[in-house]
Amino acid sequence: MSAQEALVPALLHVTTPSMAVVESALDAGYDGVVIDLQHGEVGLDAACRMLRAIPRGNAYAFARVASIDFGAIGRLLDSGARGIVAPTVETAGQARAVVSATKYPPLGGRSLGPSRPALYGGEDYCAAGNAAVATVVQIESAAGVEAADEILGVDGVDSVYVGPADLAVSYGLPGRPDWTSGPVADAVVHLAERARAHGVTFGLYCSDPAFAAGQVLRAGLDYVGLGIDLMFIGRHARATVAALKGAS
């Protein structure tokens, strides 16, 4: 692995409501997590507790919300989330709504009332908070790819995160990640180019580390979502049981 690849932050998707899973992922070498309120069993209260298992200065304490809900997003940010991932953004209007929910005035409409004290340092708390929090639009449909310039051109959007499985489904393909050719692979390269043109960071979910390393070079990833906790458990459990039965 090159020095460039080694420096790309890796985030684990966490779908189980467990502070221990978050701590274990960071201890294992992950740079951050995506606490997933869209898929899995993590509710809002659990997500707010899980954020407290992450050191306050970690820039990759991300939470993916189920929808653009001002109340839920505000609570996650007040509990220490440093990035909000909004799923299936397909229009500039949706992107503006995410910015409004994640940024303090004058850029957005986030309410000031942190429950985790001293989240943001500096003379201007609101400006510091806006700089510290990443507003992440997730593009995971053909419609989102087509509207990429309008979405990424919205003031306050900091990053685009690609969901390849849903993107594949929108193209009439099987819902899986790690595409090396075809419309999904082409869309990833296109979105990476548009992200650079608009000055926002670019992330991609991958399931295979070797594929992710290749995408760092091909598409220029700034960070990578790499694996899901429940899938890790299932994979290791199957291998363990198969090894036992094979040895008996």
236 is catalytic: no
Per-residue burial over 74-99, b = 16 or more CB atoms within 10 Å of its CB, e = otherwise:
bbbbbbbbbbbbbbbbbebebbbbbb
Q: What is the CB-side half-sphere exposure of residue 14 using CA atoms within 13 A?
A: 30
CA neighbor of 15 nearest in space, from 33, 43, 42, 46: 42
The sign of the dihedral angle between the CA atoms of 124, 126, 129, 135 is: negative
Written as one string, the DSSP assignment of 113-142 is --SSSS-S-SS-HHHHHHHHSEEEEEE-SH
The residues carrying an active-site annotation are: 39
